């Protein structure tokens, strides 16, 4: 599947314009909760984005005024014949691996409720911008289950073990300002400024050389699981790859000439 400039699905809206891909979770009447239909739609779109050389940066947002995503669709999940089978079906497609495997930077625009699968989806993004009304939580333990989309792994890696355990074990929610202080989000903006702030950030990234941007993301993401020596070697290899690109060399020379230090 190769989405056009704008493609509508049953649970999401996909748009692409000037190197920026926009994925909107589109179930506002039920707070954009994640269900198997959304899983299938995201699977198609994320696969297409990964293979699209025109996409330089991705924005993930939620439709409506009340929520980015308020978790999983419990009416669908809990009415399945068996909880074990339901979990197997729910995670049959590795959407979370697709999020984490995107070579392009992924920006989350977060507002309202960011709960359960919603916070797990956000944690798969590279940059998170939150509106002042955003609230974050993982209520799974109160339902007799645990997160199964990476929350037990991505949350402590982002905000630390102690804060993550408190959220996971007590269903303690964070507001936007606390999330900023904890490192869960990069920036907090007024609600009306969320979309323009995210669009401006995406535009800035899209204006940069895509090979350099992808290489920088890869160096940080892959290097975080390596020793320092291994990470430095990865950086050297990626830098060599980037510098072997003729367009990159041209841009560097123009930059140096602008500073009066180049030929």
Active site residues: 120, 140
> Which runs of consecutive H residues, i.e. helices, occur in the chain?
36-50, 74-77, 83-90, 95-101, 117-123, 151-159, 161-170, 176-182, 194-206, 210-223, 228-243, 246-259
Rounded CA separation 261/58 (Å) = 35
Cα angle 205, 2, 15; round to 5: 50
Rounded CA separation 131/84 (Å) = 36
> Which runs of consecutive H residues, i.e. helices, occur in 171-259?
176-182, 194-206, 210-223, 228-243, 246-259
Rounded CA separation 136/71 (Å) = 11
**What's the token pair of residue 186?**
């990069």
Residue 24 in 3-state DSSP?
Answer: strand
Would the CA dihedral through 63, 65, 68, 70 be positive or negative?
negative
Backbone angles phi, psi at 185, to 5 degrees: -125, 160
Do the bridges between strand 6-8 and strand 174-175 make them parallel or antiparallel, or are there none, so unpaired?
Answer: unpaired
Which of 81, 71, 92 has its CA nearest to residue 143? 71
């Amino acid at each position: 599947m190769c989405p056009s400039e704008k493609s509508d699905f049953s649970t999401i809206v996909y748009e692409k314009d000037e190197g920026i891909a926009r994925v909107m979770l589109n179930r506002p009447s039920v707070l954009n909760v994640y269900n198997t239909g959304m899983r299938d739609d995201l699977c198609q779109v994320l696969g297409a984005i990964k293979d699209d050389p025109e996409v330089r940066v991705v924005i993930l947002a939620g439709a409506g005024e009340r929520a980015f995503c308020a978790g999983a669709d419990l009416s669908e999940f809990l009415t399945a014949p068996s909880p074990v089978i339901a979990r197997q079906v729910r995670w049959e497609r590795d959407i979370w691996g697709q999020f984490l495997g995107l070579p392009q930077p992924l920006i989350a625009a977060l507002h309202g409720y960011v709960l359960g699968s919603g916070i797990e989806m956000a944690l798969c993004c590279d940059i998170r911008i939150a509106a002042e009304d955003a609230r974050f939580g993982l209520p799974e333990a109160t339902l007799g289950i645990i997160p199964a989309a990476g929350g037990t792994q991505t949350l402590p890696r982002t905000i630390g073990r102690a804060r993550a355990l408190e959220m996971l074990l007590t269903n303690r929610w964070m507001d936007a300002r606390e999330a900023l202080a904890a490192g869960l989000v990069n920036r907090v903006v007024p609600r009306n400024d969320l979309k323009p702030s995210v669009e401006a950030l995406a535009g800035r990234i899209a204006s940069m050389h895509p090979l350099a941007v992808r290489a920088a993301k890869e160096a940080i993401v892959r290097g975080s699981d390596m020793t320092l020596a291994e990470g430095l070697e990865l950086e050297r290899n990626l830098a060599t790859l980037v510098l072997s690109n003729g367009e990159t060399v041209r841009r560097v020379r123009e930059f140096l000439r602008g500073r009066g230090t180049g030929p």
